[in-house]
Amino acid sequence: MSKYSIESFVNETKENPLERDYFELEKPALLEINLNNQAVWTKTGSMVGYIGNINFERQGMLSGGLGNLLKKAISGEGAKLMKAEGTGKLYVADDGKKVRILHLNNETVCVNGNDVLAHEQSIKSDITMLKSIAGVMSGGLFQVKLSGTGHIAITTHGEPLTLLVTPDAPVFTDPNATVAWSGNLSPELKTNVSFKSLIGRGSGEEFQMKFSGNGWVLIQPYEEVYRVEK
């Protein structure tokens, strides 16, 4: 049999039936979620396929009452989650970004809103916002605080790097390249650029996120810029 035959291609790329974990990394950029009469939250628009009897319910991530003004300010699918419920295999992905699965054990992590791919229903999600206008100009307008016990899946452009934060060594990052950080950290926005010069710009080099204390920050080798609707 030729290594380029259709049969060889199917054998090489087919789903592994032995993998039965609730959250399973089927491919580096493809998450398999094995549902057994369960519900899971996934990024809206991330479903690429499923097997079985699964129902989908689209709902705004910000439907918890932060106000219509905020809802209008956030564009793109990153502002919304989709509830998938039933029994079967669900496959989700996000523009070819690499997927990382984390299991929280009564822990908390903060994730850039656009980098949340999925989380168990047992995980509580809260929207947190940077209070400075710089957060809006970078497009990194909102972050999601995920807490509790259960699986979450986040996405990164390329291979991420974790930087350790210690009291004597704070970490500074570009907001557009910052993916996630430990839940005990509260980033500050640091800039030496006047407010006027920020208008109409979105480069992270003009300001940084400062992390102080004890913890970690996950960055990616890519500046992800998000559009802000007018």
Overall domain count for the chain: 1
Look at residues 168, 192, 170, 196 and name the one whose alpha carbon lies nearest to residue 181.
170
Q: What is the CATH number of the domain that holds 195?
A: 3.60.160.10
Q: Lowest mean pLDDT: which of 60-74, 113-127, 139-153?
A: 60-74
Side-chain half-sphere CA neighbours of 105 within 13 A = 0
CA 117 → CA 41, 152, 161, distances in Å? 8, 8, 19
The more confidently predicted of residues 128 and 8 is 8
Question: Does 112 map to a domain?
Answer: yes
H/E element, 9 = helix 6-13
Domain that holds residue 103: 6-219
Question: Does 110 map to a domain?
Answer: yes
Q: Lowest mean pLDDT: which of 7-21, 63-77, 177-191?
A: 63-77
Question: Does 229 map to a domain?
Answer: no
Question: Does 207 map to a domain?
Answer: yes
Please tell me the predicted confidence (pLDDT) of residue 73.
43
Share of the chain above pLDDT 90, in %: 52
| Amino acid type, 211 | F
Question: Does 90 map to a domain?
Answer: yes
Between CA 38 and CA 43, with CA 42 as vertex, the angle to 5 degrees is: 165
Model confidence pLDDT, tens digit, residues 78-88: 457 889 999 99
Question: Does 227 map to a domain?
Answer: no
pLDDT at 201 over 60: no
Residue pair 82/100 in contact (Cβ under 8 Å)? The answer is no
How far is it, in rounded angstroms, from Cα 101 to Cα 31? 9
Q: What pTM did the predictor assign?
A: 0.80
Model confidence pLDDT, tens digit, residues 29-59: 999 999 999 999 999 899 999 999 999 987 6
Question: Does 225 map to a domain?
Answer: no
Sequence-distant (≥ 6) Cβ neighbours of residue 17 within 8 angstroms? none
Question: Does 230 map to a domain?
Answer: no
